[in-house]
Structure 1
Amino acid sequence: MSVLIAIASAHNTTTTIGQRIAARLATHIPGPVDVRPITEIPASNGIAPYSAVIVGSAIHMATWLPPARKFLTAQQVPLSERPVWAFSVGVPNTEEYAALEREKMEALVRKSVPQLRGHTLFQGRIEREQLAWPVALFFKWFPKSAKFGDFVEWEEVDKWADKVGEEMKEAMKVSK
């Protein structure tokens, strides 16, 4: 089984999470697990060599990054022919907002990939220097809304990757 982890990352956190998932998957399944930026995956036959796909994107302005959304649309047919999982990386400031964001991002992915096997939302990392000036200005005016730092919960990433790895193993047994 070969797995593609297709990543849309703005500040490298999503890529780092994708690499961690790849390392965990490698302990569960035989075959390569490749982590590639979505922008480097050819539109025609780019996912053809892979038997499963995980798509991950950072969340900016309450949605996935444009390259990730374009990837889902452009690869809709090939994605429908293989098992697909997805993850989002954001920094929701409350559990209520996290649940809403998780639901919204899963719905976004399911528009192009109705057979999606699973989606999760991971906490990410955000630094003040990464913000566009209008957003930084907002946080300057409303400092209680600001939430800066590294919030990645690596145990949650590992737990999700292990779950997906077990699901992939089961899928391999069924397809034999």
Structure 2
Amino acid sequence: MTPTRKVAVIYATEQGSTRDIAEFIAADLADRGAEVQLREVGYAPGPADFDMVILGSAIHNMDFLPAAVDYIGRNRAELAATDVRLFGVGLGPALRGPVGRRLGRVVPKKIAALRDAVRARDYSAFAGIYERRGVSRKARTLYRLLGGGRYGDLRDWSAIQGWATGIGDSLGLPAASTHVIHP
């Protein structure tokens, strides 16, 4: 019998999209037999007691939220010695058109530096929720020019499920007995 795999799923969210994705990933891994601790980054445990740390953050100004950056900075050495997976939640993956698709695949320099500092095994970006309300005309115009076509919930749950499945497989977890249904 294989030992239980211990996974920390840590998130930094501003409006809730990143929390929803983290909850989905945590539930998927728990259903496959992992011992999962889901925590907001301000209450996150240190990484030393885990086989894997999954850290997700909303992306603002091409960077993780300050609380996620601070967590990585405080725990850099321990994270570098742990199996780390990072994910970001922002608009990039929702962009379409020739320019938008290309920009959506680029890992922002600040995030790439964080990824490299902790030797993260993987980084994936997911779209979040983008509401038109409260967005300036300039930002809406830029969004349209880059290929943003719609507002609302832009999350691709099948891509998120695929990423979570890959993580579970890499941990040697058995197939899920049930499937997690997104929010």
Q: Could you say which TM-score interval applies, normalised by the shorter chain?
A: 0.7 to 0.9
Deviations along 1:40-88, whole A, 9 cap, x unmatched? 126xxx3333221001011011111111111111111111222111111
Match of 1:173 in 2: none
> Alignment identity in percent?
28
Q: What is the aligned residue count?
A: 160
**What value does the CA root-mean-square deviation take over the aligned residues?**
2.2
Shift in CA distance, 129/40, structure 1 to aligned 2, threshold 3 Å:
farther
Amino acid across the alignment from 1:39: G
What 5-or-longer segments of structure 1 have no aligned partner?
A: 171-176
Residue deviations 1:126-152 (CA, integer Å, cap 9, x gap): 113465xxxx24236667356521110
Measured in 2, the distance between the counterparts of 1:112 and 1:130 equals: 35
1:37-56 to 2 correspondence within 5 Å? 37-41=40-44, 46-56=46-56
Alignment of 1:104-119 (within 5 A): 104=109, 107-114=112-119, 116-119=120-123
Is 1:33 the counterpart of 2:39 in the alignment? no
Identify if the C-alpha distance between structure 1 residues 77 and 139 changes in structure 2 by more than 3 Å, giving closer, same or farther. closer
Match of 2:180 in 1: none
* Residue 67 (structure 1) aligns with: 67
Counterpart in 1 of 2:124? 120
Residue equivalent to 1:95: 101
| Counterpart-to-counterpart distance in 1, 2:168 and 2:158 | 15
More helix, by proportion: 1
Residue 78 (structure 1) aligns with? 78
Q: What residue number does 1:158 align with?
A: 161
